[in-house]
A and B are shown apart, each in its own frame.
Chain A
Amino acid sequence: MQGYLMEQLSLPAKLDSLEEIGKFVVRATTQAKLATKVAYGLRLAVDEIATNIVTHGYKEAGIIGEITVSAALTDSSLTVVLEDGGIPFDPLSHPLPGEDELNLPLEDRPVGGLGIFLVLKGVDAFQYERAHDLNRNIFVVNRTPDCTARRDAAGLAGQ
């Protein structure tokens, strides 16, 4: 991972850990001085994938293990990585809901499929890798100079 490693945390792969993972991402986005909307998109993306890891990668497979979250900062981007030893699970191999499906009335919609859609909407780049029996999900958001300008203009500085 490129950049200065800000923090790394290993947690039990359980849904109870989502809150701690969320706090971790909030700390990283605060330190990276990201605009509120960008920071939220990243937190949502990480929460969605962490949920999939816990649910599909570990629980449904009957495996107990850990999930490790780390963050690295460069001048131009913030990268968060989730690493787990669950079964191989490539989020990008699942079909995304199309525009037609998103416009369907709720009673006609399939349950599921929205998580990965929100991941891709929430970050500037998303990548999945499988190496050395580990899944690695990589999330990148850009630190654009106008993020800070917009945030200051909206009176949200310091939030």
Chain B
Amino acid sequence: MAFDVQLQMTEGVAKITLTGSLDAASAPQFKEIIERAAAQKAEKLVLFVKKLDFLASAGLQLLIYAKQKMGGNVDIYLIGSQGPVQDTLEMSGFHHSVHIQDSFADT
């Protein structure tokens, strides 16, 4: 499925919806959105990934990049990951560092 990424900034929370296939070909689009969120001083990065059907290491590397660019105190949430995408996150140890949740409630 073609890749799509949308950013919505609300009171320091960057909500990013990822759809389709995130690999080296589509990673630059995601990187640009991370940079926009960082420039707007996002305090939380909330990634909606329910419709993300493919995640390669280029996407994982951008999560590392986001954490390093925005600072360790910026929490990353992954909402709705499932199936093989979830397996990849766990295999790579990302579940230790990001909050993997079924849903996200604004607080």
Contacts and interface: CB of A to CB of B under 8 A. Distances in A.
Interface residues of A, number: 30
A36 B63 CA distance: 25
A22 B68 contact: no
A41 B64 contact: no
B84 A47 contact: no
Interface in B56-75: 56-58, 60-61, 63-65, 67-68, 71-72
A22 B54 contact: yes
A44 interface: yes
B67 A51 contact: no
Contacts of A22: 21, 23, 54
Interface in B21-36: 21, 23-25
Contact of B91 (A55, A103, A107, A118): A118
Interface residues of B, number: 29
B68 to A, nearest CB: 6
Given A15-B25, A112-B61, A48 B56 contact: yes
Given A37-B84, A111-B61, A106 B25 contact: no
B63 A114 contact: no
B9 interface: no
A121 interface: yes
Contact of B92 (A18, A107, A117): A117
A34 B72 CA distance: 40
Q: Is the interface of B mostly helix, strand, loop or mixed?
A: helix
Contact of A105 (B21, B54, B72): B72
A146 interface: no
Contacts of A106: 63-64, 67-68, 76, 94, 97-98
A111 B25 contact: no
B17 interface: no
A150 interface: no
A5 to B, nearest CB: 26
Interface of A: 15-16, 18-19, 22, 36-37, 40-41, 43-44, 47-48, 51, 54-55, 102-107, 109, 111-112, 114-115, 117-118, 121
11 contacts: A16-B25, A22-B21, A36-B83, A37-B83, A44-B84, A47-B23, A47-B24, A51-B24, A51-B58, A105-B67, A111-B68
